[in-house]
Amino acid sequence: MFLPTLRSGKRRTQLLVLAALAATITAVFTLRSMRGDGVTLVSSTVYDRREVSPIPSFHVVSAFHRDEGEAGLENYIDTKLIALKHDLPNAPDSKSWPRKIFQVLRTRKDTRYAEPMKTWLIANPDYEQIIIDAASAETFVKTTFKSVPELVQIYLSIPDPVFKADILRYLLLYVHGGVYADANVYCRKPIADWIPSSLWGSDSDVVVGVAADEPYLSTQTLRDWGWHRPYEIAQFVIAAKPFARPIRVAIARAVAYAIRLRQRQQSSRGFFKLSSYVARDIYEVSGPGMWTDVLIDAMSYRRAELSWSHFHEMAEPIRVPTETSAVIVLPVSYFGNGQKHSGAGDYKVPESCVTNFQAMSPKRNNWFL
């Protein structure tokens, strides 16, 4: 704005105040976020500034995280996992996408999820579906990861099946690769069609999807909805190549965070008691909170800042380089369709790859479309 030179100090002050007020009104009506090197309009909705949280630049927010100077435990476990990769007999090719689908049940007699689990084989007849129950999972962890005793000890000492399933999915994908899917998730499209063939043929090693995309939620709304964070990358379905670095980092962090949780609780009755942690602990130790941190951390290595604006209101899959390869991130409608938030769309959107009928539900009536 051009302001002519004014001899009257009072007059000049009045005009400056008016100019500042006009700029403020303009800012309220136009919310912008940085995406790449340009500026993209996010929304023309008028927000009460008291209710708006800026799209945050990335930083690990877990209460269990330690900075580089205190990350000795993660680094120690990470080193053990790298060594494991070289010691495994008949290790799979780390550059391939194995045609395997892993799903976890408490017992093989559990038939509650027979219908959604069947959809994976119908849509992907050329894939092997591998069902893991509690007994086979324990055997797998004790035999495959015996060179990482801290990991085995933590896994065996956790009584909560959700907590265990969180860690187990990373362990399975690390040594086998393939696709992990929660048992209650429906496959809506062949895995090969989730992304273009050129992306499957790229140097990427992990495929994930946005599960929640509401970066402007107020703190009160987060509490009302029962959410821990306003944005999230899905953990209920993950595709990965064997020995992918983000998977390895997730294992190291989950084990280190679990040990820190144990230390905080200072239980005298062993590693864990069922009453010694709550849902938020699981979310941040091994669940979607920790997983989201790991992925954005991996995708931030070339950038001074990587904000959620790169994933906000995505329309197409994007490939984001990491230090060793790349992560492919899918828009929320691909994995998170059917939710009344995040612009996820209904179950029938053409880009729907999977449908999770329990994703991000704060147990409110009519939450899903």
In the chain the domains, ranked by start, together with CATH numbers, are 1-46 (no CATH), 56-356 (3.90.550)
Count CB-CB contacts under 10 A for residue 185: 24
Q: Is the pLDDT assigned to residue 34 strictly greater than 60?
A: no
Closest listed residue to residue 171, CA positions, set 232, 237, 102: 102
DSSP state of 99: -
Q: What's the pLDDT at 66?
A: 65
Which residues touch 135 (CB under 8 Å, ≥6 apart)? Answer: none
Mean pLDDT of the chain: 79
Residue 297 pLDDT level (bands cut at 50, 70, 90): confident
Q: Which two tokens stand for residue 253?
A: 């962090």
Helix (H, G, I), strand (E, B) or coil at 357: coil
Least confident of 105-119, 207-221, 269-283: 269-283
The DSSP annotation for 121-168 comes to: HHH-TTSEEEEE-HHHHHHHHHHHTTT-HHHHHHHHH---HHHHHHHH
Q: Using CA atoms, how far apart are residues 318 and 101, in angstroms rounded to an integer?
A: 23
Q: Is the pLDDT assigned to residue 274 strictly greater than 90?
A: no
Which one is predicted more confidently, 68 or 144?
144
Which one is predicted more confidently, 369 or 248?
248
Query: Using alpha carbons only, what angle is made at residue 81 by residues 77 and 82, rounded to the nearest 5 degrees?
Result: 120
CA dihedral 301, 151, 280, 164 (to 10 degrees): 120
Q: What's the pLDDT at 26?
A: 39
Q: What's the pLDDT at 358?
A: 66
This prediction's pTM = 0.80
- Residues 57-86, buried b or exposed e (16+ Cβ, 10 A)? ebebebebbbeeeeeebbeebbebbeebee
Which one is predicted more confidently, 128 or 53?
128
Q: Token pair 């990991």 is at which residue?
A: 151
For 95-107, write each residue's pLDDT tens digit. 999 999 999 998 8
